Structure 1
Amino acid sequence: MRRRLAAAIDSTLLRPEARPDEVAALCREAVELQVAAVCVQPVYVEVAAKALAGSGVELATVVGFPLGANVTAVKVAEARHAVASGATELDMVLALGWFKAGEDRRVEDDIRAVVEGVEGRTVKVILETGYLSPDEIRRACLLAQAAGAHFVKTSTGFGPAGARVEDVVLMRETVGPEMGVKAAGGIRDRAAALRMLEAGANRLGTSSARAILLEG
């Protein structure tokens, strides 16, 4: 059970006041626990890359975070810089304003530009499901899938709601088995983590990796 959970966890530190020493400590813990990845602010990608070198733990960072409101060229530049600095995975925020306005083509093109800009690196699209109806969640999933993204993800952790079982179920039903689903936001104990996996998630974003994995 612990190995299964560890293989699904993105150990996350995205607090605005996070310090470099905290990022280094997170990476040491991630290597110890052998989680799937760590996810840090873009400014700390180089710090994390050095700490994780040779460990087998992936390095994720965020793009257009937390609002998704950066113009596409900036998102692409941010993603490329992160990859050049050592990131292997990118968690980008959906362009929510365009999406809510029904500008689906612009949203899809925005995602595709990042996917193509990082040449095969894993791209996860954060839908920020707390702002979306079930029909909008389905639509957003299909746009991310059409654009070539590798995962859809529930939340930034800074929006109105975190991961909800019903949203994860809907996301998995929409994208099918071939695309990843990441649940993030409010996953703080093993019971919550297992509920998300049972609902269809195959990655979990959490700042409570140690508590989840070492829970008795």
Structure 2
Amino acid sequence: MEITRSALAAMVDHTLLKTDATHEQVAALVAEARELGAFSVCVSPSMLPVTAELGEVKVATVCGFPSGNHSAEAKAFEAAESSRLGADEVDMVINIGLLKEGRADAVEAEIAAVRAATTGLLKVIIESAALTDDEIVAACRAAEAAGADYVKTSTGFHPAGGASVHAVELMSATVGQRLGVKASGGIRDYATANAMVEAGATRLGLSGTRAVLDGADGVESDDEVEGGY
């Protein structure tokens, strides 16, 4: 079943994480998110607090981004400061090297530290394209054990790539009954976005949101689709 434009928009974190982004661009991002009906905007911590009129749009930010190679204490401080400055959600990057060393317990500990410092919803970026299937499962289980709300595929900055249908399916099969699954990185058209939702994604990180949503034009409205979204 194809997801409608309005239902897809309501799943989107409208994202601007470019290193040269300006406050003016963030204001434009917020205005566009409101126009498109996106769930949230996702911006760098330096852009907090967001002063543009948000309406119903939530504010997400990132933590330990993009490498994840920060101490647990640094990540926790960053998350606490972002929460203080109005972030509703924090997307943290795990230390992939710890996971590669088989130290899932250490990954769980750093997620728990950020969880304790975050007042809102916590998403855990596992950089799935850089992981084996077993590592994806281990990362998802660590996130759940540490009290995270979501697992997320990618930063969009790793050379291994972004989200894949396979990774989303595996993440959803591992924790999808209890945690949300966010697909992010390389989702540039409606067909890809719809495939991620069918695979189990409950949130999408998009920078080209308008182009993706435009691809849904012509899909039957929610009222016309039996058992629609």
Partner residue of 2:5 out of 2, 5, 21: 2
Question: Corresponding residue for 1:130?
Answer: 129
Question: Corresponding residue for 2:52?
Answer: 51
Deviation, structure 1 residue 60? 0.4
Deviation, structure 1 residue 51? 1.3
Matches for 1:190-205 after TM superposition, within 5 Å: 190-205=190-205
Deviation, structure 1 residue 52? 4.0
Question: Corresponding residue for 2:16?
Answer: 13
Deviation, structure 1 residue 169? 0.3
Matches for 1:1-216 after TM superposition, within 5 Å: 1-46=4-49, 49-53=50-54, 55-119=55-119, 121-159=120-158, 160-215=160-215, 216=217
Could you list the structure 1 runs, at least 4 aligned residues long, displaced by more than 3 angstroms after superposition.
Answer: none
Give TM-score, length-normalised by structure 1: 0.95
Deviation, structure 1 residue 19? 1.6
C-alpha distance in structure 1 between counterparts of 2:76 and 2:131, whole Å:
25
For residues 156-184 of structure 1, the C-alpha deviation after alignment (integer angstroms, 9 at most, x for no partner) is 00011111000000000000322100000
How well do the aligned residues superpose, as a CA RMSD in angstroms?
A: 1.0
C-alpha distance in structure 2 between counterparts of 1:63 and 1:199, whole Å:
26
C-alpha distance in structure 2 between counterparts of 1:79 and 1:176, whole Å:
24
Deviation, structure 1 residue 17? 1.3
SS at match of 1:75: helix
Is this contact kept in 2: 1:31–1:52, CA < 8 A?
A: no
Structure 1: tracts of 5 or more residues without a match: none
SS at match of 1:50: coil
C-alpha distance in structure 1 between counterparts of 2:41 and 2:71, whole Å:
26
Give TM-score, length-normalised by structure 2: 0.90
C-alpha distance in structure 2 between counterparts of 1:173 and 1:132, whole Å:
16
C-alpha distance in structure 1 between counterparts of 2:134 and 2:91, whole Å:
22
Amino acid at match of 1:14: L
Structure 2: tracts of 5 or more residues without a match: 218-229
